Structure 1
């Protein structure tokens, strides 16, 4: 409130400050103390009297009104260190700066026309605002109340076409000298009081009344300010390129701009008017909030008002409609670069971003490491952090440029994460000579959605000159449904913001979808929307390998038996790269806590889990097992049948055995051959 001079406020604004304070729970003394700063208008006791009259309503004035009033006077809520905020897709861009009010050069007063065509103004206004069949509500008559002229309900059953015809008819009579202009207006529109002027409602009606419910089409809103010089109002309206259908001088201290809103219903009308008013206020046009109703009266041009002319200043200025205007406003705030000609840079190409991981990833780009659960993805990322910090090879394969790295730990508790880094350093056998190059941000239990985390991360990292930011894992911070393309596009856009703001690579990991992945392309294995596969500049995919039990794994057998270790899981890493050609697959063993490249060649021909080769091999094994089980079952059944049919262990007729099983004698012979306990001779079954 200290940024708002009460002397600069209109009466309505002064009341709104009081209403907002009451709504937010402040005592009236706050309003009164602030109001004292306007010594010319302050009256003792007035604040408390008005305060008691505030009864509240369904659409209350809130503290946001005071905030907006302060912003229009140059106040900012942002601290010096706080970066600009990222707007959501559906954000209301009400704080876009269109006009620099410090450089307005307009005359403060409006010059009235000397050669004035009163009825011509009325005709032009009606044609600009209405269609011929639109029902128009006009208030020509008025009455005095408390020293003010108040318009009557007027007429609201006649069309714009009717009024235009009448105006043309009687204007011709006036031109012929058959009657005065004043009488001609009276015959065409109705008699009016030149001391009061005349009014018209700028939206068409249904002919049943003049309330909001009677508005037939929500086409226009009124933009008016009583707290600014009329000349400045006009200058701002024109510089903001408001989509004005008609611009009217009120004959006193304001301009009435009839602005396209083009709303489908009352709800949309309210939303659009609020956005319009917010943008106007932010650019210095102090709009009267009382004018927001679609049934509001406005000044009718072509009449006198207390010795001054209510005249039509312009029609159809600014943008053509609301949509075009809002698109233009948003374009002023997009900060997008202009297109450039390829010819202008052909002989002087810009330098490519430096490489962070040789033949894989550049600075400022994004990389996704994808794999199944428990594949050691986090360990692989920690190995990468160490390789970047120390300037060594990652996975004994990819050379990393030395630099600073931020590891965002979203999953492990702080102690476990720190121990894991030390364990990996030790297992890799790398001397920890550049530990200062690794920062760890432990956020377990404190993770927030990525669109909220990104600005906080950028703010903390802005001065650290990180070459890479690692986010592990992303499922902890996913914003929205991971199967929704548009929501995941919004989510992935946060990585772009981090990369562009910090000029660092953004590296993150994600899990595979359920089931075997060998039959899928590596780009399609990540769980959720395909956006995950198409957004990063580099995708490194880890898929499990099927290693035959008969093949030895590279283990120290004696040490393994002592530790109780199980055979090491094996993985194959492939790359889908935007900036570099694909690299040969890298086959690895995960020997906790690090990955070791297979230098034995054992994994070169290993099948990927879920691949056709793997599935066929599993099918053969399953078939063999089924056959073995069926054979064992038949042997048992043969023994049971012999016990039942045999007389104290004597041979059983082959025919009787065949009838027992309901099969041919040839089949019984096959059963017997499968068993080591029976033989057949002379058409009898003997126990050996």
Structure 2
């Protein structure tokens, strides 16, 4: 495993009980790929007490061949759960004493090569009791158990042959208050309180309080402090660097040799947070020239005790309470120094030579690198509209009447299974009548069943898309990756900030899809219809909203008649244009009955059957299609006139002739008028309308693989209980396991 990360230690950050089955298997595949054993996977899997089965890991292990899943999978999982790498660059090794820190300059506060050393002076009056008492008072409460060591044992250094003194576990059964009281009474004989020490070795103390039961990490009762020490730099420079870094140092101690021991305030609530904070602290120190021994990171670590003489050199307190007041203040200061925010600019510098605006992605609607939200109710065909947009960008074609810039697009599919998504793209291409000349411009990222919250998805997306030169990233739909309460402004602001990160990092537009709030939408402004916090309306640079139009029976019949007569006219003209020109007037062309009579005179019986079949197909399509109005709220462009369109599976088509111009959205108009209209209808009329509405809802919901009770209720805007009652009254449908299906015809 030389040169590689220790994946076993990373597994400490991954709880097997929090993973789904595929993620658990991926961990096993990654371990095998990196040369670990089935026992390693099995030992870690035991952490899931409910799902763990003895022997299961070993059985599956033999099937893991050529999976292609590497240790990077485990590394990423660990990062998502709080692990922070100590590696500062791509050399894949821990920094050694003589390593130069180069490359990434994040968190570099000072230049150690230019900083002047700060002199350290020994105490003018040597008072060991005072040194130790000040140390204890600075770090501990009177009731804290303190661990200290004065006894040692000897070993011989294998290389030099020198005798080395090693500390024993020491004492840990007295509190700081007890020690201070005893020291104040000892009349300078600190050995009578702490025990005599060897001057060749010195003495040590543990800087975090203990539980009085031992000296291991598990015995630390409060994770208050961490040790910062660097002995490969001039000691006066160490002093200067630590002060320049504004480290929140509670006590700074001269070790009596070639280093300073700074006890830094960490104030972590638990061990996991302690590890994270110490990793961060050490990272900042290393980038500023203080190469710290990684063993110092343990919370039960020993440090040099002041008030002790070692080989004629004093261990003494250099200073107390320097730098920032606490961890939070220091951490905020470091982050502020290293933020990537731009400096304020003077308008006078640019008044006469303004920067160039970003080019358009969707002409008159959205610029490249900006964000757009598409909102609409269920079954509005939002996904199909976004697939149409993907195709329009890839081919440099129009979308809903707006010209799109040609380029590469990434469609992030969070809802459909992979096969359905691919088929939809081909179906939409065919329905639009476009040749797939530039399908290489479309990438689809299928994440159904594998999606993660947006704050975790964003960096994964950025990493995969970094070198693809996408001009647009389309995320459909966002409810699959939504984090937090969608009605909370601050939580949704954090959520939508992820889209800014994607747009900024990739330089591409980000287009995402969201649903309407419950209830009718006709009386609302377009920016008020999206569900949840108003952040969804204010965040995007362009908000495209779909609202359904309330089609009347008369309009639908008019459309059916127009389509049928056109089919008759085209057929007769092709067979006998002279007859059409001589016998068929404008009035005839408006009547299905008249055109049917003409067809019988001109067309053969076989041809008539074909025409009637075509008419039935077209009429059925008209009956199940829906009408929509596209409205918008734009930041960069003037407001556009509403666009009316039909949605006839699988594409939207603009209403070029103005049939829908005067149709009002569903739910528009005063409530008293709608209630009054309802009262005028007879029970039979109401039942007929409800049955027809149920038929339409069933046809519309058939877009999906299964037609659920919930989907029909959502489409009709009623409760599932109401749908059950209507299905019962209709008689042509039945409910099986929450799915709605047509009853089979009786033979």
TM bin, normalised by shorter chain, reads: 0.5 to 0.7
CA–CA separation in structure 2 for the residues paired with 1:433 and 1:205: 70
2:652 equivalent to 1:595: yes
Cross-structure match for 1:535? 539
2:618 equivalent to 1:565: no
Cross-structure match for 2:127? 119
Residue 185 to residue 343, structure 1, CA distance change in 2 (3 Å): farther
- Once the two structures are overlaid, the 10-residue window that deviates more, 576-585 or 261-270, is 261-270
* C-alpha deviation, 1:264, in angstroms: 5.2
Larger Rg: 1
Residue 251 to residue 136, structure 1, CA distance change in 2 (3 Å): farther
Cross-structure match for 2:309? 304
Cross-structure match for 1:362? 367
Residue 290 to residue 483, structure 1, CA distance change in 2 (3 Å): same
The equivalent position to 1:508 in structure 2, one of 488, 512, 517, is 512
Cross-structure match for 1:435? 438
1:160-216 per-residue CA deviation (whole Å, 9 max, x = no partner) reads: 98689789xx8xxxxxxxxxxxx6878999976544434455457899999989988
The equivalent position to 1:494 in structure 2, one of 488, 495, 498, is 498
Q: How many residues align structurally? A: 537
Cross-structure match for 1:340? 345
The equivalent position to 1:468 in structure 2, one of 472, 489, 502, is 472
The equivalent position to 2:400 in structure 1, one of 395, 415, 430, is 395
CA–CA separation in structure 2 for the residues paired with 1:291 and 1:498: 35
1:134-173 per-residue CA deviation (whole Å, 9 max, x = no partner) reads: 4687899934533637576386464798689789xx8xxx
Cross-structure match for 2:592? none
Residue 451 to residue 217, structure 1, CA distance change in 2 (3 Å): closer
Cross-structure match for 1:609? 666
Q: How does 1:88-99 map to 2 (within 5 A)?
A: 97-99=106-108
* C-alpha deviation, 1:571, in angstroms: 1.1
- Once the two structures are overlaid, the 10-residue window that deviates more, 207-216 or 570-579, is 207-216
CA–CA separation in structure 2 for the residues paired with 1:592 and 1:212: 64
1:397-437 per-residue CA deviation (whole Å, 9 max, x = no partner) reads: x34344444444553625523422322331xxx6x496367
Cross-structure match for 2:594? none
Secondary structure of the structure 1 residue equivalent to 2:378: coil
CA–CA separation in structure 1 for the residues paired with 2:515 and 2:140: 64
The equivalent position to 1:250 in structure 2, one of 255, 263, 276, is 255
CA–CA separation in structure 1 for the residues paired with 2:365 and 2:337: 37
2:533 equivalent to 1:548: no
The equivalent position to 1:292 in structure 2, one of 295, 298, 310, is 298
CA–CA separation in structure 1 for the residues paired with 2:140 and 2:412: 66
Cross-structure match for 1:71? 87
Cross-structure match for 2:526? 522
Secondary structure of the structure 2 residue equivalent to 1:71: coil
Residue 620 to residue 413, structure 1, CA distance change in 2 (3 Å): same
* C-alpha deviation, 1:584, in angstroms: 2.2
2:421 equivalent to 1:417: no
Cross-structure match for 1:59? none
CA–CA separation in structure 1 for the residues paired with 2:684 and 2:122: 111
The equivalent position to 1:619 in structure 2, one of 675, 681, 685, is 675
Residue 166 to residue 612, structure 1, CA distance change in 2 (3 Å): farther
Task: Give the CA RMSD over aligned residues.
Answer: 4.9
CA–CA separation in structure 1 for the residues paired with 2:212 and 2:436: 85
Query: Does the CA contact (< 8 Å) of 2:503 and 2:510 recur in 1?
Result: yes
1:305-336 per-residue CA deviation (whole Å, 9 max, x = no partner) reads: 12222133333333332112222333455433
With the length of structure 1 as denominator, give the TM-score of the two structures: 0.63
With the length of structure 2 as denominator, give the TM-score of the two structures: 0.59
Secondary structure of the structure 2 residue equivalent to 1:517: coil
Query: Does the CA contact (< 8 Å) of 1:233 and 1:285 recur in 2?
Result: no
CA–CA separation in structure 1 for the residues paired with 2:634 and 2:505: 23
Residue 166 to residue 131, structure 1, CA distance change in 2 (3 Å): farther
Query: Does the CA contact (< 8 Å) of 2:390 and 2:442 recur in 1?
Result: no
Residue 629 to residue 355, structure 1, CA distance change in 2 (3 Å): closer
1:475-532 per-residue CA deviation (whole Å, 9 max, x = no partner) reads: 4554566566566544433322332223222223233234322243322323445443
1:111-150 per-residue CA deviation (whole Å, 9 max, x = no partner) reads: 9847743229945981795289746878999345336375
Gaps of at least 5 residues in structure 1 are: 5-22, 28-62, 78-94, 171-182, 631-688
Residue 196 to residue 361, structure 1, CA distance change in 2 (3 Å): same
Residue 188 to residue 145, structure 1, CA distance change in 2 (3 Å): closer
Residue 374 to residue 223, structure 1, CA distance change in 2 (3 Å): same
Residue 76 to residue 485, structure 1, CA distance change in 2 (3 Å): farther
Residue 118 to residue 135, structure 1, CA distance change in 2 (3 Å): farther
Residue 518 to residue 136, structure 1, CA distance change in 2 (3 Å): closer
CA–CA separation in structure 1 for the residues paired with 2:149 and 2:563: 104
CA–CA separation in structure 1 for the residues paired with 2:236 and 2:37: 39
Query: Does the CA contact (< 8 Å) of 2:210 and 2:219 recur in 1?
Result: yes
Cross-structure match for 1:578? 635
- Once the two structures are overlaid, the 10-residue window that deviates more, 309-318 or 114-123, is 114-123
